[in-house]
Structure 1
């Protein structure tokens, strides 16, 4: 599923590049910009590109983190704290998912659209946020349960660290 999500993100990033370049080219050469490109990119494509990979990044520890104290802890303590903290965050993301999904369904039922030259559906914009919060909630539960299971059983190999991989030379290059 994550490979499919990342493939979608790559396609969306390519589309953003195409639309922005075409808009700039048409705007400055023919004085005829693409009237839909700004809204399409900012309302739909950019949120997909920025939010959809959130669970993928969380699973691989690719987010920005302050890990000084976590690195000083024994692995079992990390597993316990990662398990408890991610499970504690999961209900928050679940509530966010429910609220955004409910709002998206209401927008769809009422046919809400943006104002402007093109009437973009609001529900689709909200649905993007709903899907991403759901994916993060599921990933948090997955990481939490896996780490707590690793803590209880001592099966360190199944633990999922949310810390960045410090063996990657690019990670430490900054």
Structure 2
């Protein structure tokens, strides 16, 4: 089982790195756009499209598995903290299973939408520039699918008695 843990951790960290790189690229792109716009009166073509359709989608969806792997999603434990540990564990497992179902559905429907966008060659026109946006659609099924995988593995480990929560 340690190989699977290692692989899931590796993939989770790799996609978190992609999300981090998207943040850095977005900052550089927007900064250059501002510099070019106000100092040279020549804004970078496609900045709004790139930020909206590429960077933000990567930042929001791709690192989901990394956050889940570290059990770092936002949670409010006002009532559950007062419950017995066995009930807390059962509720945690139930929420993980429900979240897994939602993420699997999001991955499936997101994959359909991404394939349709790719077939259509979906693009945005900004100024004189046409920017393909369909590749960014694949970030949604990738992020949701990886989070589903992490949740499945965590649920499996919980059921088998070797809980993996960190």
Calculate the TM-score normalised by the size of structure 1.
0.78
Shift of 1:43: 0.8
Q: Is structure 2 residue 147 aligned with structure 1 residue 136?
A: yes
Choose which of 150, 159, 165 in structure 2 pairs with 1:160.
Answer: 165
Preserved CA contact (<8 Å) 1:24 1:33: yes
Unaligned runs of 5+ in 1: 162-174
2:72 equivalent in structure 1: 62
Preserved CA contact (<8 Å) 1:47 1:128: yes
Tell me, in whole angstroms, the C-alpha distance in 2 between the residues paired with 1:67 and 1:135.
Answer: 25
Preserved CA contact (<8 Å) 1:85 1:144: no
Tell me, in whole angstroms, the C-alpha distance in 2 between the residues paired with 1:85 and 1:43.
Answer: 30
Q: Is structure 2 residue 51 aligned with structure 1 residue 46?
A: no
Which is richer in strand? 2
Structure 1 vs Structure 2 CA RMSD: 2.0
Choose which of 134, 143, 149 in structure 2 pairs with 1:123.
Answer: 134
Counting only pairs closer than 5 Å after superposition, residues 73-92 of structure 1 correspond to structure 2 as: 73-92=83-102
1:94 equivalent in structure 2: 104
* Alignment length (residue pairs): 155
Tell me, in whole angstroms, the C-alpha distance in 2 between the residues paired with 1:66 and 1:113.
Answer: 40
Q: Relative to 1, partners in 2 of residues 1:72 and 1:146: Cα closer, same or farther, differing over 3 Å? A: farther
Q: Relative to 1, partners in 2 of residues 1:9 and 1:122: Cα closer, same or farther, differing over 3 Å? A: closer
Calculate the TM-score normalised by the size of structure 2.
0.81
2:120 equivalent in structure 1: 110
Unaligned runs of 5+ in 2: 1-10
Preserved CA contact (<8 Å) 1:82 1:147: no
